[in-house]
Amino acid sequence: MRLFVALALPDSLRLVLAGLAGGVPGARWVPAANLHLTLRFIGEVQSWQAQEIDDALAAVRSRGFELSLAGIGTFESAGRVTTLWARAERNERLSHLQQKIETALQRAGMAPERRRFAPHVTLARVDQVPEAKLARWVQAHSLFRAEPVLVEHFTLFSSQLGKEFAVYTPEVDYALA
């Protein structure tokens, strides 16, 4: 199965984010149900590994916090903008949680994540979008800010890749103190 660790987002926040969709011809907006903040992508594992991952995540101790999304950013690949996202504000507890998860997963045998943690919520895949259109949209939404939300758990999701969108299933929630 294909796994990743993420923060599920409350309905209220997902509705606000879904409300940003539109105005970028060719963008593939993430359906509201799929909006999340990835803490660690795991990828394909055997079920015995999934069990070890679950054990490791269950042992993570970290505190709850308020999550604030503010600002819009993009990821590029090979000189093309591929992804449009909402930025999570700097947050010590979020970073701490992410580090704890990283350490736990390495102990469970996962190879270290090499990429720096850049907390974000993917809004759309935009690899088919003319850059000028995208730049205009990003500029128009640069002051985006959502009400802070309380984060009281993190979640191990499975992901089934589909033709249009992946289907994510929350497998286990882990409480934060």
Residue among 4 and 65 whose Cβ is closer to ligand ATP:
4
| Contacts to ligand ATP from residues 22-41, by CB under 6 A | 38, 41
DSSP code of residue 15: H
Residue 42, helix vs strand vs coil: strand
Computed from CA positions of residues 10, 13, 16, 21, in that sequence, does the dihedral angle turn out positive or negative?
Answer: negative
Choose among 92, 93, 69: nearest CA to 146. 69
Size of the site for ligand ATP (CB under 6 A): 8
Determine which residue in the list 17, 56, 94, 122 makes contact with ligand ATP, applying CB under 6 A: 122
Cα 100 from Cα 98, distance rounded (Å): 5
Q: Does 170 bind ligand ATP (CB under 6 A)?
A: no
Q: Does 132 bind ligand ATP (CB under 6 A)?
A: no
Residue among 155 and 159 whose Cβ is closer to ligand ATP:
159
Residue among 161 and 177 whose Cβ is closer to ligand ATP:
161
Among the listed residues 36, 96, 141, 153, the single catalytic one is 36
Choose among 146, 148, 147, 150: nearest CA to 177. 150
Q: Does 111 bind ligand ATP (CB under 6 A)?
A: no
User: Residue 70: which H helix or E strand, with range?
Assistant: strand 69-77
153 is catalytic: no
Choose among 103, 102, 104, 134: nearest CA to 38. 102
Q: Which residues bind ligand ATP (CB under 6 A)?
A: 2, 4, 38, 41, 122, 159, 161, 166
- Active site members: 36, 120
